[in-house]
Amino acid sequence: MRFFTRVSVATAVSLSLAAAVQAQTSGTINARAIVRQPITITAGQDLDFGIVLQGTPRTIAETAAAAGRFDATGTASANVNVNFTLPANLVSGANNLPIGTWTGCYNQTAAVNSSGCTTIASMAGTTATTFGNVAGAGRLWVFVGATVSPAAAQAVGTYTNTVTLTLTYF
């Protein structure tokens, strides 16, 4: 009886496959997916100083439209830690262009820095900085401002350095 059942099933499957090949009849299946929140951090907007003159410091506030912005997503209410590594200078060969007075704020509800953006007090320095845990709805926008201070005789060249934002998921 068990053997018969197996043959019957096999036959039925074969017949079904044959029918499918020959007729290409339509049908429906159920699809199931479990969506889990990935973790993402991206540099959403560059820190844009625009035109800067020799000998004239230029400041972009963290609340300005030109402020740099990092976007992060994760699980709602999760404990994450955000850490900046901020350079003290932009470098061109042996020449330095000082960057001072880094400022920052974060918003957990919208990509808005003009209001509702919590100041990151510990960003006053220029070294690695950690600002607490960011819980909430799973979205986080971090805004960064800074001051560049070119000397009056700032050497011509291409100045670069790296701003690193690290998101640690616990």
Partner 1 sequence: MTRAAWTLVLALTGLVSSSAAQGVLVAPHAVVIEHRTRSASITLYNPGSEPAEVSIATFFGYPVTDSTGDFELATPASPGTLPSAAGWIEAYPRRTVIGPLERQTVRLLARTPAGLPDGEYWTRIMITATGGRAPVVIDSAPAGIQVGLNLEVRTIIPLQYRKGPVATGAQIDRPRVTRVGDSLVVRARMVRQGNAAFVGTVRGTLVDAANRTVASFAVPLAVYTEIDPRFPLSVAGLPAGRYRLVLELAAERADLPPDQILKASAASADVDVILP
Binding site for partner 1 (CB under 8 A): 33, 35-54, 68, 70-71, 73-75, 77-79, 81, 90, 92, 97, 130, 132-133, 135, 139, 148, 150, 154-170
Tokens linked to 79: 């404990």
3-state secondary structure at position 113: coil
The smaller minimum CB distance to partner 1, of residues 63 and 75, is found at 75
Residue 96 CB, nearest distance to partner 1 (Å)? 12
The smaller minimum CB distance to partner 1, of residues 63 and 92, is found at 92
Tokens linked to 13: 């499957």
Q: Using alpha carbons, select from 69, 62, 70, 81 the residue that is nearest to residue 135.
A: 81
Q: How far apart are CA 35 and CA 8, in angstroms?
A: 39
Residue 20 CB, nearest distance to partner 1 (Å)? 24
Residue 66 CB, nearest distance to partner 1 (Å)? 10
Residue 107 CB, nearest distance to partner 1 (Å)? 13
The smaller minimum CB distance to partner 1, of residues 106 and 159, is found at 159
Q: How far apart are CA 107 and CA 125, in angstroms?
A: 21
The smaller minimum CB distance to partner 1, of residues 67 and 105, is found at 67
Residue 161 CB, nearest distance to partner 1 (Å)? 7
**Residue 2: partners with Cβ closer than 8 Å, 6 or more residues away:** none
136: exposed, middle or buried (Cβ count in 10 Å: 0-12, 13-18, 19+): middle
The smaller minimum CB distance to partner 1, of residues 117 and 131, is found at 131
78: exposed, middle or buried (Cβ count in 10 Å: 0-12, 13-18, 19+): middle
